[in-house]
Amino acid sequence: MINSELSHLRGSPFDALRSLLDPLAPVPDIDPTILTIGEPQHKPPQLMIEALRANEHLYGKYPPVGGTAELRGAITGWLSRRYELPEGMIEADQNIAPVNGTKEALYMIASVITERAGHNQPKPVILLPTPYYHVYHAAAVMAGAEPIFLPAGQKSHFFPDLDALTPELLDRTSAFYLCNPSNPQGTVASADYLAETLALARKHDFMLIVDECYSEIYDKTPPTGILEICAKAGGALDHVLAFHSLSKRSSAAGLRSGFCVGKSDIIKTFLNLRNFAGAASPLPVCAAAAALWNDDTHVTENRSLYREKFDMAEEIFGSNFGFYRPEGGFFLWLDVGDGVEAAKRLWTKAAVRVLPGKFLSVPGPDGVNPGDPYIRVALVSPPEDSKEALTRLANSL
């Protein structure tokens, strides 16, 4: 009595990591450092705490599924500021769906935009990169689609090679998940690449779902957002949905707050589904989220902490292990030869926990998993703890 699609789910990379490392004891006398999960350990902004406290009398109320007008207004204001969008391109009450974390929203959206295959018809396709954020795959499977992994290797700046996509495949596609900046590799898609992907979505009638949750953590240049590409192409939001989160931007993973922006009919349908199957954010959370989207100062400060850590990493690794400064996001994607062996060694010899690249990617047709040589290192600890941990890590590789 269980949905047979569930048997196609792939295991969580963090379960795989626990199976790999939990049986091994870390070196004693060193406090373990966890650099696996993308959970920023920077102090959450005081303005968030204050907004939560000031609104705590509202915890007793059921919150509306679409959040508050104040929150939608703050999000729209931020989008317009950040991407210099023309007035009226994003309407707070039409184009924004606040969500309680983008993880579950990225999952749920696939079923909103994917038509189930009829009897004896081929399943629609959902395209996703590999390496990948594991939720995209589960979303595709549970929406009744066929997930197709697109290798995102170094040659194509760690984004899927669009030239490799055939018209037949694109015609069967209902959605294409793109993560920009890329996780785990930390590269940023060019405006041309985004424009080309959007043009394919419009030509072949699929939804381009752009996960921009790392967009505010960048080294030098703010990553181009898909909404900027839409603005340049006349401002329509057809065939596009973008997801943003406060988890990384504001070091507020526990607040569980983000949003989806898109065309009004899709947003309306999405919110309608969420009336049945989505937890609305509590009103104090909406107030805190509005305060965070209204403020850019804490984000600038947050970014400077990451830059400090990129500097440290550059000094420690130089050109070893294929090190490069991430253009966006906060992960190092290091080529250590054998990521699984390195993760075991780092845990047992240096008490540093990192994620083998293998757990984030799938083998290609040749049976080789392109993630095998890599480890992902999340630079999430505060700078003062990171130097020591990175030095320990480098010395044990």
Ligand X SMILES: Cc1ncc(COP(=O)(O)O)c(C=O)c1O
| Min dist. Cβ of residue 103 to ligand X (A) | 3
Q: Least distance from C-beta 120 to ligand X, angstroms?
A: 35
Min dist. Cβ of residue 135 to ligand X (A):
7
Contact between 112 and ligand X (CB under 6 A)? no
Among residues 133 and 149, whose Cβ is nearest to ligand X?
133
> Would you give the end-to-end CA distance of the chain in angstroms?
48
At closest approach, how far in Å is the CB of 152 from ligand X? 13
Contacts (CB under 6 A) with ligand X, residues 86-105: 101-103
Determine, following the binding rule CB under 6 A, whether residue 376 of this chain makes contact with ligand X.
Answer: no
* Cβ distance to ligand X smaller for residue 260 or 283: 260
| Residue 38 touches ligand X, criterion: CB under 6 A | yes
Confirm if 188 and 328 have CB atoms less than 8 A apart: yes
In the window 164-203, what residues touch ligand X (CB under 6 A)? 179, 183
Pair 151, 163: CB distance under 8 Å: no
Number of residues that bind ligand X (CB under 6 A): 14
**Distance between CA atoms of 231 and 263, rounded to whole angstroms?**
13
**Cβ of residue 232: shortest distance to ligand X, in angstroms?**
25
Site for ligand X in 324-363 (CB under 6 A): none
Q: How many residues does the chain have?
A: 397
Both tokens of 54, joined, read 């000031």
The reply on whether position 76 binds ligand X by CB under 6 A is no
Q: Are 253 and 37 in contact (CB under 8 A)?
A: no
Q: Is 253 in the site for ligand X (CB under 6 A)?
A: yes
Q: Give exposure, 364-382, as e/b (b: 16+ Cβ within 10 Å).
A: eeeeebbbebbbbbbbbbe
> Which of the residues 116 through 155 are near ligand X (CB under 6 A)?
133
Smallest Cα–Cα separation from 339: which of 186, 213, 218, 184? 184
Contact 109, 241 (CB under 8 A): yes
Contacts of 262 (CB under 8 A, 6+ apart): 95, 97, 237, 240, 241, 242, 270
Interface residues toward ligand X, by CB under 6 A: 38, 101-103, 106, 133, 179, 183, 211, 213, 245, 247, 253, 258
